[in-house]
Structures are given as structure tokens and as C-alpha cells.
A and B are shown apart, each in its own frame.
Chain A
Amino acid sequence: MPTLIEQARSNKPAAASILPRAIWPLLVGLAIGALMFYVIGPGMGDYPSKIVLIAGINIILAVSLTVVNGFTGQFSMGHAGFMAVGGYVAATITYYGSMKLFGSADPAGGVLSFTGGADKPTALARWGDALFIGSCLMGGVGAAIAGYIVGLPSLRLRGDYLAIVTLGFGEIVRVLLQGTHEQIQPWRVEDALAKPVYELAISLGGPKGFQLLPTYTTLFWVYLFVVVTLIICYRVKNSSTGRAFLSIREDEIAAQAMGVDITKYKVRAFVLAAFFAGVAGGLYAMDIGAINAGDLGFLKSFDIIIMVVLGGMGSISGAALAAIILTILPELLRNPPPVWPVGLVLIALIAGVSSYRKRFRWKPIIVIAIASTLLEVGRQIALSKGINVADFRLILYALLLITMMLVRPQGIFGIHEIWEILPGYARREAARNGARGGSQGGKP
């Protein structure tokens, strides 16, 4: 009779099957990134593809915050602080790195860069993007270290105290970054080369922000990171670590009683989330070509929190969807399109599916019909009076947040992923578990 530990060891997958599972997300990411870069980006034009790019960065931020606020149930309000740390670290490395490597702060090009490698030294063309990706990862590491430093002491605190401390941390980061020295301008390369590294690391532009950064970020890199982030977070959710996170969220004392080292797992959640926020910060800085800690205060943290709360506290796909919607929404509100075609399609879809499944439902249809009528009326009023609806964006968000907490406090998708609430999921999952030989819930 093998002991429990031996059984567990024998369940460990073979080494040969780990490698492909580790690599396929990267391949998928490369494929989606290339698709975005070659097909969707050029097909949509400059401005829409910029919004798609920002949506990607927001997805990374929202999904990473889900790890802390959703899975682990800790309320962090300093996510923009981690983003700022990562962004500044990445910006410093690329900006001064470009100066040191290429003798100029311009993007050094690369195969997939917008700027192309044509008018840049071809021998180093590929090194530009290597520097950029390396710097984003280093930004992530920097933010993760910050996450560790914040996480370790503040995890003695609970609930709203933790929220305030993380908020305070974000503000301290902002104040410190705004207190740095002036940056060395791009045309004074020899000054930068003459100065020691530690002095470069504190010459970050101060209150004016770190400007004139090389703009390396493209749709390709953003969506590569998006896919990697999504898959890592999804796998974490379903791993033993993720189960520990969820148990802490449900009941800390019970989790501790079951042998979960809550401090360790809380720090892990913080570090993981901070890492991705740092990467997103790097992408953000090198997309705009400037980063200013003043823009990354608690209002930015609130933006990310709204995405997480809206999508569902603990749902990766929900947070990603909310990030996309909340990025596109202000653009849509600027010139609101008619809503009723979408409503009609939804009604037809629901009617079709529910009559096919022999359980016709009136309630969702009526709700959608009323909602789209109201939206259409509002749109007509706004159009006829010449009111710019985008001005009301933040009021709408605020009302959305309050209504959400009153009506559906767990967010749209709760802790479930989107596909888990689709009809038939439970049946399929049961069938799959049955095929694995599980005996839970089966009839004897």
C-alpha cells in the first residue's frame, strides 16, 4: 500500500510533457501578437490600433490586480504605484541603455518595430527590441521587489487598513519619483556616458516626468505579454498556489487551520501582481514615449480597481473583458453609436438558444429591450441637445460602481470565467471528471 506522499509523487507529470506545456502559450502569444501586428493593426488604422494597444496594457493591469484583489481577497489600492515603479525602471534602462549602446536615445529599430530598422544601424537593429523586452522584464522584477517590500510588512494588516497602506505606498512612490533629478536630455549623450550608473538612475525628470523615451512598444509585444499574462494567471488560479489564494479569500482563519501559510501566499500574490503591473508600466512608458509619476497616482489605481470589480472579483476573463470595455467606452461615448442593433442581435440570440433548449425565457429579453430603448432615448437626447456624453464618463463609472455593489457585488462574472457560465459547462465538466476516473458524485 503506497503512502499518500508516494501517490502524490506518482501523480507528478513526466518531464517530457512539461516542456510543450511551458512553450505553447509563448507560441500562441507570438501568433496572436503577429496577427495583431500584421493584420489587425494596419487594417484598423492608426487611432483605433492605438486604442487596441492601450486596451492590451489595461488587460495586463486588470488581470494582474485580479490575482490580489480577486483571488486572494486582499484589497490593494496601490497598483498604479507598481506600474510606476516598473515603468520608470524600464524607461531608465532603455533610455540610458540606448544612449550607452547606440549613442542615441532613439529607438534602435528591430524586425517588428513600427519605426523599422531602415535608417538605423542595421548591425544592432535587433538589439533594440532585445533591450526593450529586457527592460520591461526588469521593470517587472523591480516592481516585484517593491511588491515584496510592501507586502511583507503590510500583510499583518487586514481589509481596509491594507487598502490604506497600499494607497499610501502608491503615493510615496509617486512623491519619490517626482522628487528625482532632471533627466539628461537626449542630445547630451556624452554627459550621460560620463556619469556613473547610480547617478543616471536618479536622473528621472522629477515633476516634469521622464520624457522623450524611445517608443519601442508595438501591438506585437503588448499582445504577446497579454497572452502570457492571461495564461500564467489562469494556470496560477488552478494550481495549488491558486487554491491557497482562494482559501485565504474565503476565510483566512480556516485557511490557516488547514495549513495554508497565509503570509507566504499573500506575499506571493503581491509579488506576482506587481511583476505584471511593472511589465505593463514598461509597455505604457515606451508606448507614449514619456512617463510621469503624477499620472500614476491613486486615480489610476481606482481605474484598475473599477475594471476588476466590474469584471468579477476573481474572474480573469471577466477582468480582461471589463478592461477592454472600459478602454473603448470613452471613445464610444464621444460619438455614441446606436445600441439597438446590438440589442436586437442579443435578443435573437437568447430567444434562439432558449427555444432550442425548450426553456423559453422572457425576463432577459425584456430587460435587454428596456435597456436598449432607454439607451437609445438617452442617445437621441444627447444628440439633439449637443451634449458630449464623454464628459459624463466618470459619473457613469461612479454610478456603475455603486449600482454594481448594490445589485451584484461579486461583479458581472463573479469568480467564474466566462466559459464556465455558458450553458452545459457543468455537464461537460462532470463528463470530463468521470472520464478521468473520479468517483465523486457518481452513483454507486
Chain B
Amino acid sequence: MTQFLQTLFDGVTVGCLYALIALGYTMVYGILKFINFAHSDVFALGVWMSITIAGWIGIGAAGEPVPPWYMGVLVMLLAMGVCGAVGFTVERIAYRPLRGAPRINVLITAIGVSLFLQNFGQLRWIFGAYPKAFPTLLGDQTLFSLAGVNFRLSDAAVIGTAVALMAALQYLIFRTKMGAAMRAVSFSPRNASLMGINVDLVISFTFVVGTMLAAAAGFLYGVKYGGQAKQTADSMWVMLGLKAFVAAVVGGIGNVRGAVLGGLLIGLIEWFGVAYLGSQYRDAYVFAILILVLLFRPAGVLGKATIEKV
């Protein structure tokens, strides 16, 4: 029973992270209809920017007292800001000139951007080629235990921040003017531009929001798992990003609520697979689910099937 609850809890926590990353994938896909392969690298960038910014401020080094919680929030907001700027630049330089080009070309460009971010971060003057320790920004205390499952402060931070961000995004998309513009562009960029919506601006905005969410997920990942952050060109980041993409597809790509649902589903499936079937096939469960979903319900759980028009 304890194992079951622990697995459920771990699955939900990881699922929240997947959901945050998946939101970025799904928003970009909803508007531009392409997979932003560089999204997982923005996530890694979020982790590394958090480390760097905490280093600049001078908090969280090993042996020092744990900084107050609002410093952690400050680090997260700064990391989100930097990653948002990176997302904006990438969209402006690499993706905007390809508007209207075949999807494959945009996909290849995205792979190029992904490779660039990975290896640029490896340079000596940027983040370096070695793993670094993630600063301790939160105390390691247990809030309460339930049936042998410890509920830690870091878990509370992950779930709380993720839920808050998702709620904010929900508000942004369904209650604001910009959100209405985003939905309009997603429905039809051409018609949206005829209605006086600045499509390029909306796309840039979407990119920035998506990358900021990924950066927040990166920060939360660091807080939750701490320890050594792998170097930017480690395939682990791409793998995490891919799983988040799978989450977006499973939930129904282009659908914001679907991404959240998919993230939680993938997190649970992964952790229950690891706990009850064996950990060596960990990545295989997620991709097996992807293939099954694409075969039997290609539009995802919450997605609407589209009809191909000539």
C-alpha cells in the first residue's frame, strides 16, 4: 500500500513537470503546426540558468544557510525571463523566415536549433562541459506523512507552482484579449490576420510563454531532484523533453487541457511501470503508449479528429 501511494505521489509530481513542458509543445503546435524540438533544450536551459543566477546572487551554495523562499521565486522568475528572451530570439531568427515553408524544413531547423543550444551551452564560457550541483533553495523538511508517504516541501513547491502556472495559463488563454487572439491564430492564421490580429506578434508571444513555462519546469526539476545537473548536451534533457512531447500528443496536441492531462498520465504510467514492471525499460513504456495512442486515437485523448482536405 505504501509503495502504491508513493508511486502515485511520485507519478503526480513528475506528471506536473511533464505537463508544464508539454504546455509549451502544445501551444506552439497549436499555432504553428510543428514540433519545437528545441523545447527540451529550453527546459535544460532553465535548469542551468537557475544555477547560474543563484550563483550570481550568491545564494544556495553548499554549506550556507537556506535562503528565504522569495529568493527562490526570484531565481525562478529571472530564469524564466532569460529563457523567454531566448525563445523570442530563436523564433525571430530561425522560425519566422520559414513561415509557410514545408513542415519538414521547420522540423529540421528545430533540430538544428536544439543541437545549437545543447552544444553552445557546453562551451567553456557559457555553462561548461561538466555537471554542476544545483543550489539548495528550499529546506529539506517533511511537511507531513500519510500512510508512510513523506510529503516534502520540495514536492509542495513543485505541485503548487505547477498548478498556479497552469491556472494562470488557463486564465491567459480563455479570459484575456491576447488569449482570444492566440486561439484565433490557432484556428486559422489567415482569417485571424484579416480580423486585424498581428499574427507575428501572437506567435512570438506564444513562444515566449511556452519557453517561460519550460524554464519554470527546469527550475522546479532542479529543486525537486537537486544534486548534479547534467551538462546541457546530455541526452537526458532531450529524453525528458520527448516524454513531455509524448504527453502533449497523448492528451491531444494543440489542446491546453489535454497537455495537462497527458502530462499526469505519462508521469503515472512511467512511475507505475518502473515500480511494478522494472526500471530498465523505463523509456520504452512511454513510447509504447505513444505508439498505441497514435494508432488507436491519433488525435489524442482530448483532441478532435481533423479531416484531411485536398
B164 part of interface (Cβ distance < 8 Å):
no
Closest residue to A159 on the B side, CB-wise? Answer: B103
A88 → chain B, closest Cβ, in Å?
16
Tell me whether B295 and A395 are in contact (CB under 8 A): no
B284 part of interface (Cβ distance < 8 Å):
yes
Main secondary structure of the interface of B (DSSP, over half): helix
Contact of A405 among B109, B123, B238, B282 (CB under 8 A): B109
B98 part of interface (Cβ distance < 8 Å):
yes
Q: In whole angstroms, what is the CA distance A164 to B25 when docked? A: 13
Q: In whole angstroms, what is the CA distance A156 to B281 when docked? A: 26
A16 part of interface (Cβ distance < 8 Å):
no
Question: How many of chain B's residues have a CB under 8 angstroms from any CB in A?
Answer: 46
Contact of B290 among A165, A174, A207 (CB under 8 A): A165
Tell me whether A399 and B116 are in contact (CB under 8 A): yes
Question: Given contacts A160-B103, A302-B115, is CB(A309)–CB(B287) below 8 Å?
Answer: no
A165 surroundings in chain B (CB, below 8 A): 290-291, 294
A399 → chain B, closest Cβ, in Å?
6
Question: Given contacts A160-B34, A167-B242, A168-B290, is CB(A305)–CB(B108) below 8 Å?
Answer: yes
B107 part of interface (Cβ distance < 8 Å):
yes
Tell me the chain B residues, 256-310 only, with Cβ under 8 Å from chain A: 280-284, 287-288, 290-291, 294-295, 298, 308, 310
Q: In whole angstroms, what is the CA distance A299 to B233 when docked? A: 10
A394 surroundings in chain B (CB, below 8 A): 115, 118-119, 233
B101 part of interface (Cβ distance < 8 Å):
yes
Tell me whether A401 and B111 are in contact (CB under 8 A): yes
B19 part of interface (Cβ distance < 8 Å):
no
B228 part of interface (Cβ distance < 8 Å):
no
Tell me the chain A residues, 151-169 only, with Cβ under 8 Å from chain B: 153-154, 156-157, 159-161, 163-165, 167-169
B203 part of interface (Cβ distance < 8 Å):
no
Tell me whether B281 and A175 are in contact (CB under 8 A): yes
Q: In whole angstroms, what is the CA distance A333 to B111 when docked? A: 23
A406 surroundings in chain B (CB, below 8 A): 94, 97-98, 109
B191 → chain A, closest Cβ, in Å?
23
A residues near B, CB below 8 A?
Answer: 73, 75, 153-154, 156-157, 159-161, 163-165, 167-169, 171-172, 174-176, 178-179, 207, 253, 297-299, 302, 305, 309, 313, 391, 394-395, 397-402, 405-406, 409
B residues near A, CB below 8 A?
Answer: 34-35, 94, 97-98, 101-109, 111-116, 118-120, 123, 233, 235, 238-239, 242, 245-246, 249, 280-284, 287-288, 290-291, 294-295, 298, 308, 310
